[in-house]
């Protein structure tokens, strides 16, 4: 297939651009349906006149239907979308990027989806779906799943496929609450995932913003202790990765504390730990939840993070962790590729 793709790019490069545009429009309709042309135009930053023309083409090919309340994809459209996703993946050479990052960083596996969530909100759903499909493929009876909060982990939960026949699966939050958005809290997501897959769950009703003295008292409570004991037996951890400044603000850190993190070289954050670009922990917060020493023992860790702006933050958290499966998007992956190639050239290896 790669030979055909290279030939196509050489002889008819305009077909590649048109294919990607129609794929993006069809995908946007699928994830937002029922939806109007204006919403698609604004989401993809494509002129309404162009969207109208492409929508008419998709309709003529029976890939979408236009109803009074908006456009929807047909069954044929969904089938084409799934096949196109694999073709677009190869068209962009993402399999080579996956292999490079996996080998250079030393990961268990790398899964890349086309797009960049910094500029394409639909890519968040693709990212979550890819992570969910992977976890479903390895999930077995008796497994304990732990997950953090955040937008990308919410995408994972929202797009988890239907499962049946699983027994004794337990879902727990990996940490206490962070920020003010309830819908992306680890507790909320753990409960929703458990309900969706027919698993049991435990909640960790503790805020991350408590003082160290309060934290020490709370961890002695029976219900909290029970969740912490379950966390130590986690089989699969699903977590997001944040930018240092953004996560520090969510935790209510002062400007002086945020500046201190910057001075220490912190670029990325995960489960309450801040990492520098070399993958070294430079600071940890007072939090109730999974500890880094416990994380390292978990046999399968799924990091779900995307967006070109997060490339350095992602690398800082996942470096040299052969138990991590990274699920990311094209935007972040290509920026990580540049960073790794620069590092490679500087080292002269």
What's the mean per-residue pLDDT of the chain? Answer: 88
Whether the pLDDT of residue 214 is over 90: the answer is no
| Same domain (yes/no): 52, 100 | no
pLDDT at 346: 46
Do 34 and 78 share a structural domain?
yes
Three-class DSSP labels, the chain: CHHHHHHHHHHCHHHHHHHHHHHHHHHHHHHHCCECHHHHHHHHCCCHHHHHHHHHHHHHCCCEEEECCEEEECHHHHHHHHHHHHHHHHHCCHHHHHHHHHHHHCCCEEEEECCCCCCCCHHHHHHHHHHHHHHHHHCCCCCEEEECCCHHHHHHHHCCCCCCCCCCCEEEECECECCCCHHHCHHHHHHHHHHHHCCEECCCCCECCCCHHHHHHHCCCHHHHHHHHHHCCCCEEEECCEEHHHHHHHCCCCHHHHHHHHHCCEEEEECCEEEECCCCEEEECCCCECCHHHHCCCCEEEEECCCHHHHHHHHHHHCCCCCEEEEEEHHHHHHHHHHHHHHHHHHCC
Report percent pLDDT > 90 for the chain. Answer: 61
pLDDT band at 349 (very low <50, low <70, confident <90, very high): very low
pLDDT tens-digit profile of 290-329? 888 899 899 999 999 999 999 999 999 998 788 999 999 9
Q: 84 with 106, same domain?
A: no
Check whether residue 52 and residue 151 sit in a common domain. no
Total domains in the fold of the chain: 2
Domain span including residue 55: 2-90
- Of 90, 118, 150, which one is at a domain's C-terminal end? 90
Read off the CATH number of the domain in which 207 is found: 3.40.50.1360
Residue 348 has pLDDT above 50, yes or no: no
284 vs 192 pLDDT, higher one: 192
The pLDDT-based confidence of 44 (bands split at 50, 70, 90) is confident
């Amino acid at each position: 297939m790669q030979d055909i793709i290279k030939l196509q790019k050489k002889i008819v490069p305009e077909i590649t651009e048109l294919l990607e545009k129609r794929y993006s429009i069809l995908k946007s309709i699928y994830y937002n349906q029922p939806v109007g042309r204006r919403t698609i135009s604004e989401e993809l930053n494509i002129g309404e006149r162009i969207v109208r023309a492409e929508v008419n083409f998709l309709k003529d090919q029976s890939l979408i239907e236009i109803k009074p309340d908006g456009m929807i994809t047909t069954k044929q459209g969904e089938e084409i979308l799934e096949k196109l996703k694999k073709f677009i993946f190869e068209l962009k050479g993402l399999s080579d990027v996956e292999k490079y990052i996996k080998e250079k960083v030393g990961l268990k596996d790398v899964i890349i989806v086309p797009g960049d969530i910094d500029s394409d909100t639909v890519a968040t759903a693709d990212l979550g779906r890819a992570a969910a499909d992977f976890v479903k493929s390895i999930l077995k009876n008796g497994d304990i799943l732990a997950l953090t909060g955040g937008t990308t982990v919410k995408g994972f939960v929202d797009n988890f496929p239907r499962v049946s026949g699983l027994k004794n699966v337990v879902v727990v939050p990996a940490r206490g609450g962070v920020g003010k958005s309830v819908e992306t809290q680890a507790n909320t997501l753990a409960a929703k995932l458990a309900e969706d897959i027919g698993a049991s769950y435990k909640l960790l009703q503790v805020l991350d913003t408590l003082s160290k003295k309060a934290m020490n008292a709370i961890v002695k409570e029976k219900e909290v202790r029970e969740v912490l004991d379950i966390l130590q037996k986690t089989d699969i951890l699903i977590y997001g990765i944040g930018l240092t400044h953004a996560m520090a603000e969510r935790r209510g850190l002062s400007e002086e504390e945020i500046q201190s993190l910057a001075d220490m070289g912190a670029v990325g954050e995960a489960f309450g730990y801040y990492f520098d670009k070399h993958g070294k922990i430079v600071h940890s917060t007072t939090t109730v939840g999974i500890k880094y020493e416990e994380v390292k023992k978990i046999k399968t860790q799924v990091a779900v993070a995307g967006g070109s702006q997060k490339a350095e933050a992602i690398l800082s958290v996942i470096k040299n962790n052969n138990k991590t499966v990274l699920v990311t998007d094209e935007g972040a992956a290509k920026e990580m590729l540049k960073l790794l190639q620069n590092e490679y050239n500087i080292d002269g290896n």
